[in-house]
Chains A and B, each alone.
Chain A
């Protein structure tokens, strides 16, 4: 059974950098065909895809936040890390780590999410 667990700070200040970690269990991030994305959801709002990283290291970003996002993976720890610079209160959201269904771009496995509040 594949599980994904997000971890990171619950509160960050405006202009700070957010770093979130997704720990995968039941599947290796290095296995052919494994793709992991980050998706966020503001309180009461809709889902927004942010970034994707593939087993071979390929990376993709949403166009509107491309300059502030960095996605990476730590194969030794089986983790995917998302960094987001210059955080703003509008970035307050639940952040989900998700595994793609194979190499497709829909999402078959979701972490429980982690709520990040941006406030001074």
Chain B
């Protein structure tokens, strides 16, 4: 089973700042990686798939990069609605698909 490790665990930022979240895989996953956002009390939703492709309706301030074992989610200019927990997920080796433990972004 591939273990996904996210850092940092918590990030305190101000609106307008550039934010970088990291995700590391215990084995190479090519670009088979997705990112999700979750706000309190809500289900997660898909932001990025295939490491760098934005899902439908996701603003351009969100971008993903990386391949192999190291991945990054960048928010170019943080907006107030961007708070929440961000999860990465690999789908290269499955079952199971596995998620990271999440990075909490606090405004």
Interface residues of A (CB under 8 A from B): 46-49, 52, 60-64, 96, 101, 104-108, 110-113
Q: Check A62 against B95 for contact (C-beta < 8 Å).
A: yes
Q: Tell me which residues across on chain B come within 8 A of A61, comparing CB atoms.
A: 95
Pairwise interchain contact A47-B95, C-beta atoms closer than 8 A:
no
Q: List 16 A-B contacts (CB under 8 A).
A: A47-B99, A49-B95, A62-B95, A63-B95, A101-B49, A101-B55, A104-B91, A105-B91, A106-B49, A106-B89, A106-B91, A107-B44, A107-B89, A108-B46, A111-B43, A112-B43
Q: Which residues of B lie under 8 Å from residue A107 when comparing CB positions?
A: 34, 36, 44, 46, 89
Beyond A62-B96, A96-B44, 14 extra complex contacts between A and B, CB < 8 Å: A47-B89, A49-B95, A49-B97, A49-B98, A63-B1, A63-B95, A96-B43, A101-B46, A105-B97, A106-B49, A107-B34, A108-B55, A110-B44, A112-B43
For B22-42 the 0/1 string (1 means CB < 8 A from A) is: 000000000010101000001
Verify B1–A46 contact, CB threshold 8 A.
no
CA A82 – CA B94 in complex, angstroms?
19
Residue of A nearest to B89 (CB): A106
Please report the total number of B residues contacting A with Cβ < 8 Å: 23
C-beta contact mask, B63-98 vs A, less than 8 Å → 1, else 0?
Answer: 000000000000000000000000101010011111
Question: Which of B91, B96, B102 is packed against the most chain A CB atoms within 10 Å?
Answer: B96
Are B87 and A47 in contact, CB atoms less than 8 angstroms apart? yes
| Chain A nearest CB, measured from B45 CB (Å) | 7
Q: Which of B1, B46, B95, B98 interacts with A106 by CB under 8 Å?
A: B46
Chain B neighbourhood of A46, CB < 8 A: 87, 99-102
CB distance from B8 to the nearest CB of A (A): 15
Contact B46 A49 (CB under 8 A): no
Which of B32, B55, B96, B100 lies in contact with A49, CB distance below 8 A? B96
Task: Select one of B44, B46, B49, B94 contacting A47, CB under 8 A.
Answer: B44
In the assembly, what is the distance between CA of A63 and CA of B36, in Å? 23
CA distance A49 to B87 in the complex (A): 13
How far is it, in angstroms, between the C-alpha of A62 and the C-alpha of B44 when the chains are bound? Answer: 20
